[in-house]
Structure 1
Amino acid sequence: MNFDLFDDFNEHIFIIDSKFEKIYENKAFSSLKNKEKIFDEILKKYNERKNKLLNVSIDRHFYRVKVNIYQDKLIFELDDRTGINQFVEKFFTLNAIINQAPVGIIITDKNGNINFVNRGFEKMTGFSFNDVSGKNPRIWKSGEHDKEYYKNLWDTVLAGEKWVGEFVNRKKDGSLYIDRSVIFPIFDSMGEIIEICAIKQDITEMKILEKNLIQNEKNITLGRFVGNIAHDMKNILTGMFSLCDYLKSKDFSDDVKVMIEQIYKYANVMNEFVLSLKDIGKKENIIKINFCDYIYENKDFYRRIIGKNIKINVDCKCACVGLISKTHIDQIFLNLLVNARDAIFEKFNEGNGGIINISIYCLNDNIIIELSDNGCGIPEELMDKIFSLSFTTKDDGTGVGLFIVKNIVEQYGGTIEVESKVDEGTTFRLMLPIIYTIDKCKCN
């Protein structure tokens, strides 16, 4: 047989005789830099296994070797698969990176049907690939974003651009989380969009931290702001106390003395309030408070605060006990009731026809306190601003009251919400944690 015909082959070929001596090598094999080392390694592998198909790796090169028998000779044909092997290694490395990345990665078709999710996504959301395969990402929508938000996303991506934004989405267990997403198209060689990739990072904890930092900055600003107010009010109250002491030393009728005592009592309440402004960010002197009993015990005081023409209805559906500072609960009710009173006076002449409803009930391990009025209401465009420091709609207002209420409620792990319609009224809904409920309270 004329072995020279193998010289035109691209494969690397050599031939040995029965004594394992090399009797031929083609040009391709001769061109190998380490051909003798390769030759020795292949013979070693063949002698060990006697296989007709060998895999040999030398100096980061990978060869697939076929062994053919011709008469008393062995023909070795080498296929250099280094490039393929490196591609496979890179593929598995890339696959490991994608699956071990601390972010969620999603790949969909042009219509948004899911083709792939990585383990980071499964860990972040609780959804497995089988849960979402072939489905649309709308399955974890929370309802927090309107159609225009998603339309902008799709218009951007299908135009070939990158979209960056945040979502409030829902995990498999129903809980909400916030993710920051980078969504971009994947193109084929012709420049056509074939798939869409989304990289998602859970930023819920970062958002909470950011919110806390903002709150701390507000507290610092609040401390400086109310410190100035407290200083001025303290001077006024000092004059009131001096005047009360002077009047108490005079010989007045019993009715006048009672009125002087009432003025002194209200001045004391205001003095405690002023002192508490300086420590608005601190939770001190926390005691157990039965919220229903609290309202019952303070009803006469609050009736005088809001005026005789406004009717107060109280509905306690349960008796709940929570841990809170007496000063803080005073501040909450005082601010909300004064706001309700002012809204009613703006709508009704001298408050005639005004109604304030206070409702208390339990929900899971929380107490819900609803305080509503039928006053002038809050315009929709102002709803996002009412808890902001220094924001007020009153000519003589400071803009501190509702900010203080929100600050206190959140200190105790609670929340405050507001609903309002112009000319119909406003409802504030507070949720605070409770430690237990009891069967009876004074308001019963």
Structure 2
Amino acid sequence: MSTLRPALLTDQYELTMVSAALSDGTADRRCVFEVFSRRLPAGRRYGVVAGTGRLIEMIRDFRFDPAEIDYLRRTGVVDERAAQWLADYRFTGDVDGYAEGELFFPGSPILTVSGTFAECVVLETLVLSVLNHDCAIAAAAARMVTAARGRALIEMGSRRAHEEAAVAAARSAYLAGFRFTSNLAAGERYGIPTAGTAAHAFTLLHDDERAAFASQVATLGKDTTLLVDTYDIAQGIRNAIAVAGPELRAVRIDSGDLAVIAQQSRELLDSLGATETKIIVSGDLDEYAIAALAAEPVDMYGAGTAVVTGSGAPTAGLVYKLVEVEGRPVVKRSEHKATIGGRKVAVRRHKPTGTATEEVVVPQGVPDRQPNDRLLQHSYVVSGEPVPLPTLDESREHLRQCLISIPWEGLKLSGGDPAVPLTVVPAT
């Protein structure tokens, strides 16, 4: 688990609101906050819920220690009343939401946090920080998985991200269907299979390419991957097979016109008798580059920068809005940022064949269920106590099934309408 303490991973105004609400007596009003997106990133047809498992652990551990409270006092962020309140802080409310691996669309109430105003509002920044990052990564990674058409992917973006963001990104990519990560912390923390062998530096370290390959094979055996593009790719492949023999598991190519090089490399490997040696390609791959290689003899893709940056959409655009106070719906009316008041329940509607046709969002308590509807919200925290959650592998399978359920047009990489339309039934 991460050693990060979550309490100060927040914006100052969350705590100044707590101070003011404690002073005027509104801090204990029962409230409901919802997390949703107003729109999907340009060109996207669905979002992917990710990070909820991480978030629930952080809510469980959300505490202010004496040193943190002293800092808040000294800097004038909170007054004495608020400081004492923070010293005793424990979230005692409820958290409900879409399952990890669930798809979402503009307006989907993917997380609902209910409790007193003060205990809920202080979580806002943490909730959005985790979900905006992880959902963005998972959506981009899911598009890459679709583009790969069943071929394996390795997440290898650690060197392009903050050290903790890299671990979270690896988790989201695995949730989305990536088979491996290069990040050992993600492997240890979440049980994700890891992969990796050598970089160009290892080849350059040795007097020649054959010496580097011989050292790697001597240490790791023939079930390894040799990086063959440090100098000349064709000669690199010849050297690899000369050293390891035709039983070499794979070669990796990290540069050049990958479509052309993959064809030439396959032909060369086959001519050398290495017909079972796999070809792995990497080098700034995103979903579009992966899709462009669909017809080429590529066996596995390595993707890094595009994964950890959400492939151009580094945030999911989620917001955390107050929708109910003491059972009364409240509405924000700002232009282009209006909200729909009241706690909501969502169902995904399906044909008898299992194809999703619509998402329906209704006020809580309004019956609108049909035979093939699936209720989307589940309990995560009840009266402050986390409930058992699905495993990461179970969430990964859930996303795979969700992607199968949407119309095929929703899997296109081109822009268009959301894969599943969303209808909000207003309260009466």
Q: Which of the two has higher C-alpha Rg?
A: 1
TM-score relative to the length of structure 2: 0.20
Name which structure has the greater RCO, CA cutoff 8 Å, separation 6+.
Answer: 2
TM-score relative to the length of structure 1: 0.19
Q: Which is richer in strand?
A: 1
